[in-house]
Chains A and B, each alone.
Chain A
Amino acid sequence: MNLVDAIRRVREHDDHASLLEAIPYMRTMGIAVVEVERVGERRTLVLEMASGNDHIGNPWLPALHGGVIGAFLENAAIVQLLLDQEDSGTLPKPINVTVDYQRSGRVVATRAAARVTKLGRRVATVHASCWQDDRERPIATLAGHFLMK
C-alpha cells in the first residue's frame, strides 16, 4: 500500500495498521499507532515503539540508541503531519530536525506524539516528544520543518 492511500485509510476509517504497510521502517522497528486522542476536531496520534534489544545503543548502561530515539520522533512528526495536511496527495519532505535529549532512554516500550504548530502552504513546523513512564518527563523532544510541496 502506498503512503497516500494509507493516510486516506487513517483519515476515513481510523485504519492505522495500513501505515505499517506503507512505512517499512515502522514495522521493522516495532512502531505502531496505539491511541488516537481527540480534542474537538484535533486528532493526535500516539505512537509506541516496542522494547527491543535491537534498539540499544549503549550496551553497558544499557540505553536506547540516540539515533533510534531521533528516528522515532521524526516518524511521529511526519505521520501527524500527513494526517493534518490539507492536500493528502503530497508527501512532506523534512528540511531539518533538531532533537534535544533530556534523559537516557531505558530499554522499555516508548511512546511519542507530535503537534503541528504551523501549517503553511510551503513549510510546516512540527514539535514532537517521546516519553516512557511519565509524559510530563520526556526523554527527548524534536522540532522540525517540513517542505509541503
Chain B
Amino acid sequence: MTASAFLDYLRTFIAEPGNQSPHNRFLGLELVNIERGRAVVRVPYDARLAGNTGTGVLHGGVITTALDSACGMSVIAALGKRMQIATLDLRIDYLRPAVPGEAITAAAHCYKVTRNVCFVRAIAYHDDRDDPIANAAASFMITADKAETPRAERNA
C-alpha cells in the first residue's frame, strides 16, 4: 500500500465508530487532521472534566489524554501499515494554565521510527500553536508487527 493510500485507509478506518477508542468518544475527542507521521486532535471543553470546581480549569489529565491520543495516532500514521503499539513513556511540561471554556487541540509529530521504538513530540494549545499550554515528548513500543483483530472476530 502506498503512503497516501494508507492515510486514506486510516481516515476511513478512524471515522468508523466501532474502531474508535471508547474513552476518546467519551471525551468527545475528534481527529482534526492526519498525515504522514502527524496527527491533530481536539477535545471540547466540558465542566465535568474540570480539576477544580472553583476555577473550572480542565484537569491536567484531560490534556494528558489528548496528547497521548495525538501521539499514538501520529505513530500509526508514521508506520505506514497497521501495527500494535503501546505507550512506553510520556513526559509533559505544563507551560501555562488552560483557559476554562475553551477546547484543547493536541498536535503530534512522530519524527523517528526504529524497528522497536517510535519517538514523538507534541504540543497542546487553544487557538494559537505559538502559545502552547503544554509540550510533550513520548516514546512508543511496537508490540506486534501486524494489525489487531477485534476480540469478537478472534473468538469466532
A and B interact: yes
Instruction: Spell out A's residues near B (CB within 8 Å).
Output: 1-3, 21-25, 27-28, 53-62, 65-68, 70-72, 74-75, 78, 91, 93-101, 104
Taking the complex as formed, is B91 at the interface, i.e. its CB lies under 8 A from any CB of chain A? yes
* In contact, B52 and A66 (Cβ under 8 angstroms): no
Q: For B61, list chain A residues within 8 Å (CB).
A: 25, 67-68, 70-72, 74-75
Q: For B86, list chain A residues within 8 Å (CB).
A: 66, 101, 104
Residue contacts A-B, CB under 8 angstroms, 24 given = A2-B53, A3-B52, A23-B52, A23-B59, A25-B49, A25-B50, A25-B51, A25-B62, A54-B22, A55-B22, A56-B22, A57-B23, A60-B149, A61-B148, A66-B90, A70-B65, A70-B68, A71-B60, A74-B60, A94-B60, A99-B64, A99-B89, A100-B89, A104-B86
Contact among B48, B65, B151 with A68 in the assembled complex (CB-CB below 8 Å): B65
Taking the complex as formed, is B69 at the interface, i.e. its CB lies under 8 A from any CB of chain A? yes
Count of interface residues, chain B, beta-carbon cutoff 8 Å: 41
Contact among B48, B64, B69 with A28 in the assembled complex (CB-CB below 8 Å): B48
* In contact, B22 and A66 (Cβ under 8 angstroms): no
How far does the alpha carbon of A71 sit from the alpha carbon of B58 in the complex, in Å? Answer: 11
17 further contact pairs, Cβ within 8 A, besides A55-B22, A94-B94: A22-B52, A22-B53, A23-B53, A24-B47, A25-B48, A56-B22, A59-B18, A59-B21, A60-B151, A62-B151, A66-B87, A70-B90, A71-B65, A98-B92, A99-B64, A99-B91, A101-B88
- How distant is A49 from chain B, measured CB to nearest CB, in Å? 11
How far does the alpha carbon of A55 sit from the alpha carbon of B92 in the complex, in Å? Answer: 21
